[in-house]
Amino acid sequence: MDAPMDSEDEETTNLLPLFLMPHREKQHRKSRLKTYDSKKRGSLQKRHHPDVIETALERLASLLWPVLLITAVLVYGSHSVLINLSKRYGRIQYSSASVVFMIEVTKLVASVILWISQPINEWSLAGFRRHISLKKSLPFAVPAVLYALNNNIVVHIQMYMDPASFQMLSNLKIVSTAFLYRLIIKRRLTSVQWFAILLLIMAGASNSYGSLNPSNMYEESTVYVTTSGLILMTIYCTISGLAGVFTEYILKRHHKTPLSVQNFLLYSYGIPLNLLAYLVSSRASMEDADDEAQGLFEGYNTWTVIIIITQALNGLIMSAVMKHASNITRLFIISCAMVVTTLLSVELLELELNTYFCSAFALVFFALLLYNS
């Protein structure tokens, strides 16, 4: 699986300022500007040349890219807070598998809409056959399984730690992603990046030590992390790193295939997997002597619907980031979301921060600057 990576992907990883715009688009825009500058600048007719119009459209697209990334930060940062707001009487009343299933359905519908909005030669049956084959589609089953597991784990983690600690510790994804980048994509890390990873581990240890409550008893207004939460977080970060790196690998391996088609393949595997997870969990609930079978939408409230919509949007944005930028950009989004989560937790959940959390926050922030420098 050591397919060669494009040079633009390597540069996107190493240069933080360029992550705000897909590098391929920047190079394409620069080449067009050079072509235009070589022509007669004084001619009014040249100013309205089709190349100039295309360049203007490319500039518009480049402006939309940072807006997309900012949206991703806000959506990702609000996820764990929304899950806590969706609780009733301190418990999550709905099936996590049903929510993940509905998120996958929403993403699939959005992908189909985006696909058919393309020129007819792309979304026609002939265009579908040109981009789709069993050999191309099977690799998407791997991240579909991994995301199905992780999207259910992330709901249950919220029962064992506060949202701010969750977002803080989820930065350990960088550790698993770094090792897997080296193993799968053969991308080397600098000594500075390895030092940043060490700081992230120290930050996670600091926050965990100051907030750890082995008894699993806690007050919701305080920063807390339980032993079960740490175990689930370790599993979550490992799976997340593997899923992210593998997804980037297959998206860029078939870079000529439209992203909407690739998303269609990914979510086509994800839907039956999550439906199966829901049916299994529902049957287990039915066999419980004190409970009945849980309906698909049972326990839903307004916050649950908001979670489905925002996470569907987040999934589409992240796939665009991994195809046109890299997993490093994705990790930067996740890390920036830590600030959003902390602010929302303090404001909406009245979370009280402790010294260990604040020191870990500073370490993570400094590590991010080093890692992306």
Per-residue pLDDT for 58 more than 50? Answer: yes
Nearest alpha carbon to residue 225 among 88, 341, 233, 349: 233
Structural contact between residues 100 and 152, judged by C-beta atoms closer than 8 angstroms: yes
As a whole number, the mean pLDDT across the chain is 76
pLDDT of residue 12: 39
Q: What is the pLDDT of residues 156-209, one digit of tens each?
A: 888 888 887 888 788 788 788 888 877 877 777 788 888 887 887 787 777 666
Nearest to 165 by CA among 354, 311, 314, 324: 354
Q: Which residues touch 265 (CB under 8 Å, ≥6 apart)? A: 132, 136, 137, 140
Q: Nearest 5°: phi and psi at 238?
A: -65, -50
pLDDT exceeds 90 at position 235: yes
121 vs 347, higher pLDDT: 347
pLDDT band at 312 (very low <50, low <70, confident <90, very high): very high
What is the percentage of the chain residues whose pLDDT exceeds 90?
A: 19
Question: For a pLDDT cut of 70, what percent of the chain falls above it?
Answer: 72
pTM, two decimal places: 0.73
User: Does residue 152 have a pLDDT over 60?
Assistant: yes
**How far is the C-alpha of 285 from the C-alpha of 291, rounded, in Å?**
6
* Residue 5 pLDDT: 46
Residue 27 has pLDDT above 60, yes or no: no
- Rounded to whole angstroms, the Cα distance separating 189 from 182 reads 8
CA distance 286 to 298: 13
**Cα 336 to Cα 174: distance, rounded to the nearest angstrom:** 13
Mean pLDDT is lowest, of 196-200, 208-212, 333-337, 364-368, for: 208-212
Rounded mean pLDDT of 213-218?
Answer: 51
Mean pLDDT for the stretch of residues 270-298? 77
Domain ranges in the chain are 13-371
Answer yes or no: is pLDDT of 359 > 50.
yes
Q: Sort 280 into a burial class: Cβ within 10 Å, 0-12 / 13-18 / 19+.
A: exposed
14: pLDDT strictly greater than 70: no
